[in-house]
Amino acid sequence: MMHVNMRHLWVAAIGAGLLLQGCTSTGCKTETSGAEVSTGCTTETLAAGERGRVVQAALSEIGTSYRYGAQSPGKALDCSALTQYAYDTAGVEIPRVSMDQRKFATPVRLAKVQPGDLVFFKIRPGLSHVGLVVDGKEFVHASSSRHQVALSSLDSDYWQQRCVGAGTYLR
């Protein structure tokens, strides 16, 4: 019997979806570790090339442990290490810490974010957070409250109240 790693299967499915041009589903759902995840797969949100590689790299880390200051993909990451790793897979260098990632990114209006763009949050004074846009509704981030890399909704009240902007290092 062959052992299938559901996380790798899920990432491959998402990656393939990012590269397709004709996806018309509006709520692609998949299952990973028993949790259903909506990817919001629509024609308008698909990415290819550099953006697709960045998003796929970030999604491949779903389930990886969160640890402040950690920089080890597949083992443990913090939020800015996740985004730095994802961009690095596409050959794009970005700063290590979230405050510098925001400072040096090209600003993007929240209404215009694309897959691979960064979203920035102020959790409390002196504590910043960054995530990577998967599509117009979700982002992937290393979550300290969930203790792992996870998907979250940009539409949630929690994240909307804390969002301080978006930016990109991609064309």
Quickly state the pLDDT bin for 47 (edges 50, 70, 90): low
For residue 43, pLDDT over 50 is answered with no
Instruction: Please report the pLDDT score of residue 94 as a whole number.
Output: 98
What does the pLDDT average to over 7-32? Answer: 36
Quickly state the pLDDT bin for 1 (edges 50, 70, 90): very low
Q: Are 111 and 92 in contact (CB under 8 A)?
A: no
Catalytic residue among 3, 129, 147, 163: 129
* Model pTM score: 0.76
Q: Tell me the domains of the chain and their CATH numbers.
A: 6-168 (3.90.1720.10)
Instruction: Please report the pLDDT score of residue 166 as a whole number.
Output: 97
Q: How many helices (H) and strands (E) does the chain have?
A: 5, 11
Instruction: Please report the pLDDT score of residue 112 as a whole number.
Output: 95
Neighbouring C-beta atoms of residue 76, cutoff 10 Å: 19
- The tens digit of pLDDT for each residue in 57-114 reads 999 999 999 999 999 999 999 999 999 999 999 999 999 999 999 999 999 999 999 9
The rounded distance, in Å, linking the Cα atoms of 160 and 133 is: 14
Instruction: Please report the pLDDT score of residue 171 as a whole number.
Output: 87
Catalytic residue among 8, 79, 147, 163: 79
Residue 141 known to be catalytic: yes
For residue 24, pLDDT over 70 is answered with no
Percentage of the chain surpassing pLDDT 70?
73
Residue 129 known to be catalytic: yes
Instruction: Name which of 64, 46, 19 is nearest 115 in CA terms.
Output: 46
Catalytic residue among 28, 41, 141, 147: 141
pLDDT, greater one: 28 or 144: 144
Burial class (CB in 10 A: 0-12, 13-18, 19+), 68: exposed
For residue 167, pLDDT over 70 is answered with yes
Residue 8 known to be catalytic: no
